[in-house]
Amino acid sequence: MTTTTVTLPTTAKSTAAAKVARRRAFLHWVAVHSVAIAAALFFLLPFVFVLLTSVMTDQQALTADLWPHHWQWGNYLKVWQTPGFLTWWRNTLVYAGLGTLLTIVSSLPVAYALAKFRFRGRNLALMAVISMMMLPPQVTVIPMYLFWAKQLDLTGTLWPLIIPMAFGDAFSIFLLRQFLLTIPKEYVEAARIDGCGELRTLLRVILPMARPAVAAVALFQFFYCWNDYFGPQIYSSENQGAWTLSYGLESFKGAHHTDWNLTMAATLLVTAPVIVLFFFAQKAFIEGVTLTGVKG
Amino acid sequence: MAVATTAVPAALRRKRRRERARTLAFLSPWLIGFGFFFAYPLVSTVYFSFMRYDGFAAPTFTGLKNWDYVFNHYPFFWQGLRNTLWLVVVMVALRVTFGLGIGLLITKLKTGVGFFRTAFYLPYLAPPVAATMAFAFLLNPGTGPVDHLLGELGLPQPGWFTDPSWSKPALTMLAMWGVGDLMVIFMAALLDVPREQYEAAELDGAGPWQKFRYVTFPNISPIVMFAVVTGVIQTMQYYTQAIVAGKVASGVIGGSGQQFEPGYPHGSTWTLPQMVYNLGFQRFDTGSACVVALVLFAISMAFTSLLLRRRSGFLPESQDGE
């Protein structure tokens, strides 16, 4: 075999080799993409099944049929008109919107100080931030609940969820700091020489450059609030008027025991805004994930 | 002369003081937050762990009674720890391996990269309550589409969230479905591996496995380490999916008079955070809830200290920031 190829003229040999290489590349392409399609089915089929079920009739949703016989788009209207659903939406938007805004305003200066100021105890402060970031919320929930319930009588409202965000969020501080480190200190020094105060340097020079990181933090925080279940369960569940979507969704299932179609429609209505937002801000989001996930 | 020598240090001192005031001002939101939402509640949790307190009558000192109760009499504590260990060993390992595999797959794709990347990432965005309810439905024995498909294919149809030996595997599947965050992190790390190293390995006649073993893996091992440690920390906090899955599968949700005790089925989904909820907010045993909270704190901080080691890759150029 090898001897025959050696005797072949050079041009024929190279085209034969190229043909083998092309075939191998093609097979490789087929194999890799088959695996990718299988994986895509695993990731996307749940969405498809949920969507299909959400437009079935009540009776059909209880059967093993996969394809809806009569498309009941009215199910979405029914969910939308469920008493409370609009209130949950409004509450979730207030929690996520205000929470995100407060988080950015309070976390940015802290991140800036940790990234650009020299002071004693800076490493200690950074370690404390990371420890807070990794702290399960359940560790401190008992005293916090007692505080909000007994001292301020604010349980059953959204305030115990929102107010803490005015005091810096550890994860946001960490992410912003990681980004601010990548801004060369010359920018800060030039601004100082021009007579800018630190606050003006932060707002006029650093903030415009840090826009992608701020966008990522805003998205993360918005999603965190939107998805939060433990917080609303502890602090606001006692008052139905203060429920959020995550908490309400579960009770929706409770109220519609076997109506899987309505429950799935509600599930999609809660998921959709997150996904729409993601498509608008995909780039900032992916950048943010990589930023927290360390660059080696 | 004398005036000059004292004037300079005075100016310097003033500048130092101004800088310190400025640093404090910038840090102030977080300093207040740290004191108020971290230090104070932590100290208070330690205090309450030695107290008998039902939330109404004044707290009374009970010594180590709460600790004894949690460790020796609370029926779910050790089961919950065993569940957590199971989740750490199986769920974290599978999720990291799967995330790395999906990340590798993306970097090998030539066509439709954008589509696949979005498709693989999307489930990560689904709110946990929504995703858990969707899975509870998909896997629901009798009516769930996945259950149905398994039957069509002649595969076993386990009870998933209603079967104590399948509830944790079902939760693991849910966690693997939302692997998008790890995929993105691994993708970035894989793209950072220097191309020359692969070329050098190819010249030495390395096959695909050897290239992975000797080039890819050593380059991304800090990220793998990071994924494992943060995965363990997240598992310590595992709450929403477990409690919602239990509620939906057991059919006990919310209604007045009904109270759902987590862990369904047969305690197979108990985790430490759910015990804090159960003891503190369902049994009104504040002291014992605080004991569990402190155990949770100790384990979480032990793993966090692993992250804070320099070599973990978590604090790259950071230590001397400026």
Q: The CATH number of the domain where A241 resides is what?
A: 1.10.3720.10
**How far does A11 lie from chain B, in Å, by closest CA?**
24
Inter-chain CB proximity B116 and A36 less than 8 Å? yes
Closest CA to A227 of B13, B130, B169, B157: B130
* Nearest neighbour of B26 by CB, restricted to A112, A141, A249: A112
Residues A39, A146, single domain; the answer is no
Inter-chain CB proximity B105 and A35 less than 8 Å? yes
Q: How far is the C-alpha of A64 from the C-alpha of A73, rounded, in Å? A: 20
Q: How far is the C-alpha of A30 from the C-alpha of A77, rounded, in Å? A: 44
Torsion of CA B209, B213, B219, B220, to 10 degrees: 80
**How far does B165 lie from chain A, in Å, by closest CA?**
23
Residues A149, A50, single domain; the answer is no
Residues A48, A87, single domain; the answer is no
Phi-psi category of A156—alpha, beta or left, where left has phi over 0 and alpha has psi -120 to 50? left
What pLDDT, on the 0 to 100 scale, is given for residue A63? 76
What pLDDT, on the 0 to 100 scale, is given for residue A193? 85
B93 has a pLDDT exceeding 90: yes
Best probe of the B interface among A110, A142, A287, by most B CBs < 10 A, is A142
Residues A105, A246, single domain; the answer is yes
B320 has a pLDDT exceeding 80: no
Contact A103, A172 (CB under 8 A): yes
Chain A residues closer than 8 Å to B197 by CB: none
**How far does B230 lie from chain A, in Å, by closest CA?**
8
Residues A150, A221, single domain; the answer is yes
Task: For residue range B147-163, list pLDDT tens digits in order.
Answer: 888 888 888 888 899 99
Residues A212, A248, single domain; the answer is yes
Residue of A nearest to B247 (CA): A250
Query: What is the residue type of B269?
Result: T
Chain B residues closer than 8 Å to A138 by CB: 237, 239, 272-273, 276-277, 293, 296
**How far does B174 lie from chain A, in Å, by closest CA?**
10
**How far does A43 lie from chain B, in Å, by closest CA?**
6
* Nearest neighbour of A43 by CB, restricted to B38, B177, B220: B177
Q: Is residue A171 part of a domain?
A: yes
- Would you give the end-to-end CA distance of chain A in angstroms? 47
Distances, alpha carbon A224 to alpha carbons A41, A165, A280, in Å: 27, 12, 17
Residue in the structure block whose two tokens are 């100290």 = B43
Task: Look at residue B51 and give its three-state secondary structure.
Answer: strand
Q: Is residue A20 part of a domain?
A: yes
Q: Is residue A224 part of a domain?
A: yes
Residues A212, A284, single domain; the answer is yes
Chain A residues closer than 8 Å to B151 by CB: 64
What pLDDT, on the 0 to 100 scale, is given for residue B317? 43
Q: How many A-B residue pairs are in contact by the CB < 8 A criterion?
A: 293
Residues A137, A264, single domain; the answer is yes
Q: Mean pLDDT check: name the lowest of A33-37, B89-93, B105-109, B138-142.
A: B138-142
Residues A37, A90, single domain; the answer is no
Task: For residue range B206-260, list pLDDT tens digits in order.
Answer: 888 999 999 999 999 888 988 998 899 999 999 999 999 998 888 776 554 467 8
Residues A6, A139, single domain; the answer is no
Residues A44, A164, single domain; the answer is no
Spatial neighbors of A237 by CB under 8 A, at least 6 apart, are A243, A247
Inter-chain CB proximity A139 and B296 less than 8 Å? yes
What are the tokens at B98?
A: 């799967």
What pLDDT, on the 0 to 100 scale, is given for residue A9? 53
Torsion of CA B47, B48, B53, B55, to 10 degrees: 110
Q: Is residue A101 part of a domain?
A: yes
Chain A residues closer than 8 Å to B281 by CB: 145, 234
What pLDDT, on the 0 to 100 scale, is given for residue B4? 52
Q: How far is the C-alpha of B231 from the C-alpha of B147, rounded, in Å? A: 29
Q: Is residue A170 part of a domain?
A: yes
Chain B residues closer than 8 Å to A42 by CB: 177
**How far does A9 lie from chain B, in Å, by closest CA?**
26
Distances, alpha carbon A19 to alpha carbons A25, A167, B108, B254, in Å: 10, 65, 21, 66
Helix (H) or strand (E) holding B61: strand B60-61
* Nearest neighbour of A164 by CB, restricted to B37, B247, B304: B37
Residues A34, A172, single domain; the answer is no
What pLDDT, on the 0 to 100 scale, is given for residue B321? 38
Task: For residue range A166-181, list pLDDT tens digits in order.
Answer: 999 999 999 899 889 8
Inter-chain CB proximity B304 and A134 less than 8 Å? yes
- What is the predicted ipTM? 0.88
Q: How far is the C-alpha of B190 from the C-alpha of B197, rounded, in Å? A: 12
Helix (H) or strand (E) holding B272: helix B272-277
Inter-chain CB proximity B321 and A246 less than 8 Å? no
- Please tell me the pTM assigned to this model: 0.88
The tens place of each residue's pLDDT in chain A, 296 residues long, gives 444 444 445 566 678 888 998 998 899 899 999 999 999 999 999 999 999 989 888 888 777 778 888 888 888 998 888 888 999 999 999 999 999 999 999 999 999 999 988 888 898 999 899 889 889 999 999 999 999 999 999 999 999 999 999 999 999 999 899 889 888 888 888 888 888 888 888 888 889 888 888 988 999 899 999 999 999 999 998 898 999 999 988 888 777 766 888 999 999 999 999 999 988 887 776 676 666 654 33
B18 — pLDDT class (breaks 50, 70, 90)? confident
Q: Which residue has the higher pLDDT, B280 or B5?
A: B280
Q: Is residue A122 part of a domain?
A: yes
B64 has a pLDDT exceeding 90: yes
Q: Is residue A200 part of a domain?
A: yes
Inter-chain CB proximity B30 and A249 less than 8 Å? no
Residue of A nearest to B285 (CA): A142
B314 has a pLDDT exceeding 70: no
Mean pLDDT taken over chain B: 88
For chain A, what is the domain count? Answer: 2
Give helix then strand counts, H and E, for chain B.
16, 2
* Nearest neighbour of A142 by CB, restricted to B26, B48, B321: B48
Chain A residues closer than 8 Å to B143 by CB: 61-64, 260
Task: For residue range B279-299, list pLDDT tens digits in order.
Answer: 999 999 999 999 999 999 999
What pLDDT, on the 0 to 100 scale, is given for residue A295? 39
Q: Is residue A59 part of a domain?
A: no
Which residues span the domain enclosing A24?
2-54
